[in-house]
Each structure stands twice: as structure tokens, then as C-alpha cells.
Amino acid sequence: MSSSLKVTLPDGTILDLPPGATTLDVASKIGAGLARAAVAGKVTRDGHSEIMDLSRPLPGDCCIKILTKSDDDPDALYVLRHSTAHVMAEAVCKLFPETQLVYGPPLEDGFYYDIDLPRSITPEDFAAIEAEMARIVKEDRKFTRLEMNRADGMAKLAAEQNRYKVDNAERAEGDTLSFYVTGDRCGQDFEDLCRGPHIPSTGVIGAFKVRQVSGSHYRGDVNDQRLQRVYGTAFFKKASLAAHLEQLEQAKARDHRVIGQELGLFTIDPLVGSGLILWKPKGATIRLLLEEHLRGKLREQGYQPVFSPHVGRLELYRTSGHFPYYRDSQFPPLYETETARLLNELWIALYEADKAGAADPLAGGVAKLLDELRIADPPKHAELVADPAKPDARRLASGPGHAAQNLQLVREHLQQSDGFLLKPMNCPHHVRIYASEPRSYKDLPIRLAEFGTVYRYEQSGELSGLTRVRGFTQDDAHLFCTPEQLPHELDACLSLTRYVLDMLGLGQYRVRIGLHDPKDPKFIHNPEGWRRAEEAIRVAAAASGMAATEEVGEAAFYGPKIDFVVKDCIGRQWQLGTVQVDYNLPERFNLTYVGPDNRPHRPVMIHRAPFGSMERFVGILIEHFAGAFPLWLSPVQMAVVTVSEKSDAYAREVHEKLRVAGFRAELDLSSEKIGPKKHRHRQAKVNYILVVGESEAAKGEVNVNDRDGKTLGNRPLEAFIEECRRESEERKA
RNA sequence: GCCACCGUAGCUCAGUUGGCAGAGCAGCGGUUUUGUAAACCGCAGGUCGUCGGUUCGAAUCCGACCGGUGGCUCCA
């Protein structure tokens, strides 16, 4: 062990310090000002970085970056907010002594603390919590780290009788447990089991706010204890908090639900149903322009159009696996007859009894359904249920080992009378289009495209404007190809998805590789299929050069996927485009093509949707542009505004010429002054406002104004049309 | 679905301890003939989300439901 510690600073300087030196010692050695501003140290050793308390001894030779009171440094804010979470927790415990603390991490823009408290915390409590926090901050108490060996620590926690902390500690790594005391009077001041790091003292917290409270569940498990999650945020400087809150306010003005209402793009009507979008003409125009543009691209890339209906037989979805597995998020099935309903319920009950490994598949729920069937349809009941005197292979069998046979039997009876499902996905329909004729390897790849509307019964609490709905249209396509063609096709799908995002200037997306979780039964069991599909996905993502994160459990139930994820105006993340590889549905539907060897082969499927859902995409786009769409997408591109009635005739002429030239123009002959008229069209985000008065009429000109309030001056109408034509064709975002 | 909050005119909002339902903007009709962010006069617009309860009397208090917002959970 060396007698001194070598500490490398970000600029490359190496400092020698005595063993046991702390980050604060490093800061002090550099300068007293830095020591005052320091809040923690980011210590890097062996390529591994860790943020440490100012007062903790450095672990050995290392690189160090001193984190200071800077609202521009995410690391510094992370530490600050973690500490502020402790302060808030103390305040809540003081006000509500029966509070049990659970977990309080920092977030990207603040922090939360999960608490177990019988009484509901409401926004009215925030002022009292903040006042208590302000007191703690004013006392400028030191954060003191306390380490204990695991046994002592566990004993201490057991004495506190807080199951959550005991749980947390049990899951913590290492032989020691650490606690942080907010103050230096251990045993008296507030303390919490915590890994750290923390700011040196509460006085460092310059500004904070308790923002909201919501429900949560312990460890994210709906069956576990319900908790309250109190959210807050903190900054070093008051001005930063004010700026942050101001920014949140401004973000709200971009909200597509607000803009959609103001600009008359869409509406959601309770009488029609929650989560069902009514596209008004202006919103429909935007969507249609996007669809038309993509259709052109698809033609270029060899896609073929198809159309399929909004419903399909339940048998279709039993084959695909959609039914009954995801029936909680499907609209209820439409049954042809009461017998069909009961047989379907029976099939589901048998299916679930089998999954659950029930000893007797005909017991419990199944028996009850059979009783119902006996009353509703005695002949069908007789056909299904065995006479104990005469065993028969064509009857339902009790006892273990008959699950597959029973399921098959009910399914056969369902051929006579079944039910329908509002389609949750387009793929089963497209698969049947593929299967409708013999396919040769020479025909592959076959790319079937449809703007297909699907219906999913999302939980009521999930619905949100255009971004989470119950009926939406996917710019869907299914590609059927040979395994050899897969990499090339995947690559083309990824490029297309990136093309649409880049075209609209949506550059801030995250790429997520969704993989299946072998432990989760919701994924189709086909290890080899998953292996090949996930391999293909990884290779394609890597080849595209995009930085992607792999997330286990995020796959579709039939295959892994690459998702393009964007954030909305309040920071929520939404999946837009998606590209998925599927070895499973071709198997379930027994799809084939004839290969060069004159033998049948199994095709591979790609599911892909560059926009994802038209609803969600347009919602995100509204927020991206704050309603001010580029010329080519704008529902109202220009408004012709008269100075007075004297120019009405000329205004009509201008309006008509714009219309003939293919533009979407509005004519405003109202008898107001041009100030308020112009103001109104600017509010409506009309790209160009053309003021026409007597002088314009005399010269055949228009006076061009943009929606930002700038007057661009006069020019001949023809010249303006030409300018707009160019701008529109450029599709500048 | 769960927790919290919210629901008054098309929009934004006011409405006192329970006592006749209000404003601005938008709309419509006039007047004005207007030169770049708001001319004037008038009219109309309401089952105060719905249903039930308490009360002499409910937008207001209570309950249930519907719808919305934020979060949780979910998201094939």
C-alpha cells in the first residue's frame, strides 16, 4: 500500500494526498472557494464511477470530479434531490408520526418518497410539509453517514418494526448497512437506511417544492401494500426552481389535448366513448397528408396494399394466440348465440385450468359452465358430456391428461357457432391473406400494407388524449420473407422508420430493443424461434448504428422488437415506430412457401409500423410543432384577409387561385379591422396571412405576413404561390 | 382497474355562511368601410356532468355513477 493517495483531476493534474483523504480535502487543496461550493465527489476507479459524500475517505488512487452547487450538473442535482427526499420524509414523519417510510429515490427532474400512511396526503398538506422542510433546511443540519455490520444493522431495523426497511436492507448488497442521520445527534435526529450519497448539510438545499401525490404499490406489485408517493423537486438556486416551474407551465401550453381543442383538430366525446378519437376536418387533413406521403414511400419500396375488416372470428384469434390470452385488454367478444358464448367461456375455463395445472379439468368453473349449458342448450350439452355408462372419445373427459383433447373438442363444436372480436391487431388478417394462395420463394418477400384500425380496451386510468386510446390506426405492414432475406428487410424497415421521424424533425427519440422474458408465461413458448428472432433484431439494430438499450420483458408476445420512443410535453415516454421479428405466427398458422427444392418452407414475418399509431403520432407531432405545422402538413396554409369590403372581390379571386394551385386557404371577409383579423389567424397557426386591400388589388399583389407576426412584404400573387409550392415540396419541418 | 384532485355557456373563468345563474372571448344581427394584437350597439347561448339524498330552499352539503387530469399498475 502506498503511503500517499494519487488523485487525478479532470484537467489531468495529479494531486498527492495522505491516505484517508476525502473529497473535501481534495477540494480544499485546490481552493477554498471550491471547498465551499462542493457538494460531493464523483470518483472513478478501474473504469467504475461512484458519487461519494464529501466527507468519505477516498478508496485509493482515483480520478475525481468535484460536484458543486450547480443546477446545470445532473450529478449534483441527483445528490441534492436525494437529500431533499430525506428532508421531505422527515417533514412528513414529523407531521404524521404514524408514517412508515418505504423508498425515496431521485428522479430526472426531482424525487419522490413512497410512504405507508393510512391517512391520505392531499395537496392541502403540501404547505405544511414545505414549511417543516424549510425549518430543517434553515437548521443547516449535517448529513452524517453511519455504517454498521449487517447483523447489527438488521437488528436495529427489526427494532424499528418497518417491514419495508427490513426488506430493503435484505436486498442491499455488501456486508455493511449504511444509515444517514440528518444531523449529528445519532439516535435523536431523523435517520434513514440509505446507501447515499448526500450533500454535506441541509442548508445546501436552495429551493424545493412538493409537487404532487399519487398512489403506488410496494415493489410495483398491485397485490402488495398500497402506498402514497409524494413527489417534489429541488434546486441549488431559487431562480432555477422558478425557471423549472415556468418551463412546466409553458410545456402545458404545448399539450396536444389543449392545442387539439383550440385548433379544432380532434375531439373525444363521452357519448361515443372514452379513448375513441373523432378526427375533425383539420386534424383529419394532417393525418391524411402523413398517410399519403407514407403510401408513396411504400409503393417505392414494393409494398402491396391490402384492406381487412375491423372484426374477425374468435377462432382466428385462438389460432394466433390473441384470444383469450389478452382478453382483459380487448373489447368484450361478440357472440353469435348464447351457446357460442357458453362454449367460448368453457374453452377459456378449460384453457386456464390446464395452464393452472388443475387436477380435474372438469371441476370448478368448468362444471358451473356445463350446468349453464345444460339449461341453455340441452342437446349441445348432451353432445359434449359423457354418459357415465357409455364412455366415448368424442365427449369431454375428466381426470388429468385430457386437456388438449377437451380443448380440441370444444373448439370443434365452436366451428358451428362462434363469436367475433374487434381486432386488437392486424396481423392475423394479413396472415390469412398470405395463406390465401400458394406462395413461391420467387414471390418473397411479400409486403402487405394497410392503415389498419385496431381496438384495445385500455384501462380507464391509462387513457390520455391521442397518445393512449382504445381505437387507433396503425400504419401497419407485415412482411413475409425467407430467413435469408430477413436482415435486408429488417434494415429497410428501420431506415423507413428513421426516415419518417427525421423528416418531421423528431430527432429526440430513444431506441429500445424489447426482448422476451423466458420466465414470463405471456410469451409464446418457442426458445429456438426467440433465439433466432432476437439475434436478427440485435444484428439489425447494430448494423443501423443506432444506440439502443435492451429491455427484457418488453417484447411483443410473439416476437422481439425495436421501438422508437419519444417524450411528450410533460416528459412521458411513448412508443411510436416499431419493427418486430416473428417466428411464431407463421408457425401457429402453418404458413409456407415453396422453395427452390420444391418443398414447403416456413416464412419469417416482420411486423412494422413507422408511425406506430396515427393517433399517437399526430398527438406527438402537435406537441412537437406546438400546433404550428410546416406548410406541407398545415390544415390551413394561408388566410386571405381583406382590409375592407371594397377588396372582397379581389380577395375571392386570390382565394380561388390559391385553391386551384392546390393550397388549403381560408377566406376572411369579416368586417373587422385587420389587426384583430390577423391576430385570430395567427392564433390559429395559419402559416401565411395574406392581407389584401385596394393597393394590392390594383397591382395583383398580396401582402404576406407570417404567423409569428412578421410582415414579409408585398409580392405578386403568382410569386407567392411559387414560393409556397417550393416550401411545401421541401417538406421542411 | 387503483389512489388523489377536478367537472358552471363552444372556450377561459367568477359565483359570499345553502336564498332569482354571471363575465370576457367565440357565435349571430345591425352600425362602421376600416392598413397589421382587440370599433360600437344589440341578441342568443345553461338539466351548474348524471342520478339520488339532506333541506322550506342545493351550483353550493352528503352518496353513487359518468367524464377529465396527474401518478400507480398495464401496454399483444
Mean pLDDT within A198-208: 94
* CATH of residue A46: 3.10.20.30
Statement: residue A400 has pLDDT above 90: no
- Same domain assignment for residues A556 and A465: yes
What pLDDT was estimated at residue A382? Answer: 86
Q: What DSSP string runs through A403-419?
A: HHHHHHHHHHHHTTS-E
Show which positions of strand B are touched by protein (CB under 7 A).
1-5, 11-12, 26-27, 31-39, 66-76
Statement: residue A161 has pLDDT above 90: no
Q: How far is CA A368 from CA A238, A328, A378, A398, A410, in A?
A: 66, 21, 14, 14, 16
Burial A626-651 (b: 16+ CB within 10 A, else e): bbbbbbbbbbbbbbbbbbeeebeebb
- Same domain assignment for residues A206 and A100: yes
- Same domain assignment for residues A529 and A616: yes
* A424 contact to strand B (CB, 7 A limit): yes
- Same domain assignment for residues A396 and A436: no
Q: How far is CA A156 from CA A142, A150, A218, A601, in A?
A: 22, 10, 22, 65
- A674: left (phi > 0), else alpha (psi -120 to 50), else beta? alpha
The band of A388, judged by pLDDT with boundaries at 50, 70 and 90, is: low
* A330 contact to strand B (CB, 7 A limit): yes
CA distance A330 to A458: 8
The answer to whether position A284 is within a domain reads no
Q: How many domains does chain A have?
A: 5
* A696 contact to strand B (CB, 7 A limit): yes
CA distance A119 to A96: 9
What pLDDT was estimated at residue A614? Answer: 97
- Same domain assignment for residues A122 and A228: yes
Give me the A residues in range 150-209 that sit within 7 A (CB) of strand B: none
Active site residues of A: 427, 456, 474, 476, 478, 561, 607
- Same domain assignment for residues A669 and A587: no
* CATH of residue A96: 3.30.980.10
The band of A391, judged by pLDDT with boundaries at 50, 70 and 90, is: low
Residues A328-368: pLDDT tens digits?
899 999 999 999 999 999 999 888 888 777 777 777 788 88
Nucleotide nearest to A211 (CA to C1'): B70
Nucleotide nearest to A554 (CA to C1'): B75
E strand or H helix at A708, and its extent?
Answer: none
Please give the grid coordinates belonging to residue A703: 401582402
CA distance A134 to A264: 45
What pLDDT was estimated at residue A2? Answer: 53
Q: Yes or no: say if A54 and A41 are a contact pair by the CB < 8 Å rule.
A: yes
Question: Please, which residues bridge with residue A452 across strands?
Answer: A474
Measure the CA dihedral A197/A202/A203/A204, to 10°. Answer: 30
CA distance A120 to A243: 30
* A118 contact to strand B (CB, 7 A limit): no
Q: Last residue of some domain: A68, A85, A102? A: A68
- Same domain assignment for residues A171 and A238: yes
Mean pLDDT within A388-394: 68
The answer to whether position A202 is within a domain reads yes
- Same domain assignment for residues A109 and A242: yes
Is the alpha carbon torsion for A626, A630, A631, A634 positive or negative? negative
CA distance A340 to A361: 20
What pLDDT was estimated at residue A184? Answer: 87
Q: How far is the CA of A662 from the C1' of B2 (A)?
A: 51
- The average confidence (pLDDT) of chain A is 92
Give me the A residues in range 609-668 that sit within 7 A (CB) of strand B: 643-646
What pLDDT was estimated at residue A392? Answer: 67
The answer to whether position A160 is within a domain reads yes
Statement: residue A495 has pLDDT above 90: yes
- Same domain assignment for residues A164 and A245: yes
CA distance A271 to A355: 39
Give me the A residues in range 257-276 that sit within 7 A (CB) of strand B: 257, 261, 268, 270, 273-275
Q: How far is the CA of A213 from the C1' of B70 (A)?
A: 8
ipTM score assigned to the predicted complex: 0.94
Q: How far is the CA of A258 from the C1' of B9 (A)?
A: 19
Residues A533-552: pLDDT tens digits?
999 999 999 999 999 999 99
Nucleotide nearest to A327 (CA to C1'): B76
The answer to whether position A275 is within a domain reads no
Q: Last residue of some domain: A46, A68, A90? A: A68
What pLDDT was estimated at residue A157? Answer: 87
Nucleotide nearest to A215 (CA to C1'): B3
- Same domain assignment for residues A439 and A407: no
What pLDDT was estimated at residue A46? Answer: 87
* A322 contact to strand B (CB, 7 A limit): yes
- Same domain assignment for residues A375 and A316: yes
* CATH of residue A520: 3.30.930.10
* A217 contact to strand B (CB, 7 A limit): yes
User: What is the model's pTM?
Assistant: 0.93
The answer to whether position A332 is within a domain reads yes
Q: Last residue of some domain: A589, A610, A625? A: A625
| Sequence-ordered list of residues with C-beta below 8 angstroms from that of A262, at least 6 positions apart, any chain | A627, A683
Query: What's the domain range around A142?
Result: 75-251
Residues A278-329: pLDDT tens digits?
999 999 999 999 999 999 999 999 999 999 999 999 999 999 999 988 888 9
* CATH of residue A687: 3.40.50.800
- Same domain assignment for residues A99 and A241: yes
Q: Yes or no: say if A238 and A207 are a contact pair by the CB < 8 Å rule.
A: yes
The answer to whether position A264 is within a domain reads no
The answer to whether position A279 is within a domain reads no
Mean pLDDT within A396-412: 83
Give me the A residues in range 332-391 that sit within 7 A (CB) of strand B: none
Q: How far is the CA of A464 from the C1' of B50 (A)?
A: 23
CA distance A144 to A198: 9
- The stretches of A122-197 forming alpha helices (DSSP H) are 126-138, 150-160, 163-171
Give me the A residues in range 493-532 that sit within 7 A (CB) of strand B: 522
The answer to whether position A276 is within a domain reads no
